[in-house]
Structure 1
Amino acid sequence: MTLGIPVGFIMAAAAWVLANVRGSEFWLVFALTYVIALGGLAHVVTGSSQASFLWLSGSIGIGEAWLEFTLPTLAGNIIGGTGLFTVLAHGQIRGDLSA
């Protein structure tokens, strides 16, 4: 799960930044994907395909694929993405809260 939190944060950041990188979307996605792969981090979409392949090849069971990888990674991605969204949203309305 802990390797999924930074990826959730990175992917949420990508959603915020993509609106401002007109024409360079490919390079932003490439750079973020490279950072995720370089760090050995876990994303639920790509990881689910890997877990499914291992399950289909008989290397692991379906329970192991879901309980030991997919669900913890999903939880980490949600925590990281929600955390960044919360910080950004709070920063945007902080001035309104003190009034």
Structure 2
Amino acid sequence: MFVIKVILSAIVIATVTTIAKKNTLLAGFIAAFPITSMISIAWMAYNKQNNTEISNFLISVLWGIIPTVVMLVATVIGLKKGMPLIASIGIGFSVWLAFTIVFQKINV
């Protein structure tokens, strides 16, 4: 089962990066689509998790959107300011990590 999950994830990533070569807007929309959440929900249902567990997971996903948006904004700002890609991603990840830790501490 784990191998199927890995292959499915790889296919999604490969598809998005291939589309991005021709249409970055479409690739961005596909990447932003909650594919990971939908796949996770499908696997949770397959594993016989109940609706409460799935609902709690989705609430956590909603809270996870905030650090992700902040990370993307920080990365874009870094790139627009002329920072190298790796540095911009590093700053974006650091901001994401900080927000995630704060959310864990306040038990959101």
Q: TM-score range by the shorter chain?
A: 0.3 to 0.5
**TM-score normalised per structure 1:** 0.36
Which has a greater percent of helix? 2
